[in-house]
Copies of this chain bind each other. A is one copy, B any other.
Amino acid sequence: MTDSELAESRTPREPSSGRRGTNLPRMGDYNSLVVLDRIRRSRAGISRVEIAAATGLSVQTISNLVARLLEEGMIGEGARAGVGRGKPRTLLHARADAAHAIGLHVDPLTITFVLLDLTGAVVHRVLERTPERLEDAIALMAERVVELSVRVPAATLRGLGVAAPGPIDAVEGRVVHPPLLSDWGDVPLRSRLATLTGLPTILDKDVTAAMAAELWQRHHDLGGTTLFSYLGYGVGFAFAREGELLPGSSRNAGESGHLIVDPDGPECFCGRRGCLGVSSSLEHLISRGVALGVLEPFDGEPEPWQEDVAMSRLAEKAEAGDSAALEILRTAGRQIAHGIVLVADLLDADRVVFGGLNWERLAPYITAAVTAEFAASGTMRELHEVAVEGSELGPWVGAVGAASLVLDEAFTPKPSALVAQLG
């Protein structure tokens, strides 16, 4: 495969014009993925009868699909579990080493890499500081990906997922002047990495990847409407409905930098005050810390790692009870919470999931403020609650998500795929 063919093979589908029909082969493929999905999500193992009950398919259909998956080596048969006086049931489990994907997540501070197996478990992980020069960064990414790739049989490796700060050009696989990596300009990251690693490569926004991680990793489906709120150098959003991503027209859904969350907040480059982007930015929080004497002033423009250290220091001081530090983080928590409640109610979401590099440090201040703001939002709360949860993937959520996008494309049953465009 040439470089451009590799890139081409993962170009997002064009929106369809008019519904298409479905047919038997497509139905079989879909049902096979439904069965694999049930088996994968049931870590303790699941029997054919249980799969039939859970999926609404007949036991005969399940037996045929299971035979095919066993033959393909995607699943294995394990212990027989006796229940009551009936015939003991043979438990099926996903074969973890039947498929792998590599994910990498680049942000201004670090590049994180993971190798995932079919069950979504992290087999290997690597963390690097982001090199200052773009070419150094690309070379480092390719090198680490190739090192990870040789750890598993080539036939099981489904591809590379790359998570980068938005906006992105998903059609061309480019990172397009990301404000967080402003020196990068306009980089065809997907084709560059596909060429250097020889792997089919997907590029997506960091927040979209983080949402994909939650969808792939959880052992119960995320039904209803989910809002993922990613806290890194600022706040970003991603959306999912009934277990499928809602990535928007160009996979850039979630742009929310200019929602006004506090008209008395800090000035934004757009000319307004209190936009969510600037109010939640590391740069703003740290400069407040310096202004109020909580943090030492920097000697010149701080490097990303210096900002990270300063943010940790600010959070530690707040935790120790420093009133100025507390005030800074409580204000930020309220501002971010206001933005989250606006977006959650706009989408009528069931659930907000938080994650990202800055989540743990801000969690105490945001959680309290989001809960209070939801409670105060009146009529909508009479109709339904909104669950508030933290991701369990910590700083790895972006890289795990990037790899999950690869596994998701290959293995998640999607009703929309039943009616996908032909060849």
Contact = CB atoms under 8 A, between A and B. Distances in A.
Q: Which interface residue of A220, A346, A413, A415 has the most chain B CB atoms within 10 A?
A: A346
Contact size class for A?
Answer: 35 or more
A159 to B, nearest CB: 22
Main secondary structure of the interface of A (DSSP, over half): loop
Interface in A349-391: 349-350, 379-380, 382-384
A343 B37 CA distance: 34
Contacts of A2: none
A130 interface: no
Contact of A384 (B224, B250, B379): B250
A26 to B, nearest CB: 9
Interface in A212-239: 220-221, 223-225, 237, 239
A241 B252 contact: no
A34 B19 contact: yes
A346 B34 contact: no
Interface in A399-423: 413, 415-416, 418-419, 421-422
Copies of this chain, tallied across the complex: 2
B346 A255 contact: yes
Nearest to A273: B263
5 contacts: A19-B413, A20-B55, A21-B34, A23-B61, A259-B260
Contacts of A221: 16-19
A336 interface: no
Contacts of A259: 259-260, 342, 346
Nearest to A237: B346
A348 B256 CA distance: 11
Nearest to A226: B249
A45 interface: no
B19 A416 contact: no
Given A169-B383, A242-B416, A260-B263, A38 B23 contact: no
Contacts of A274: 263
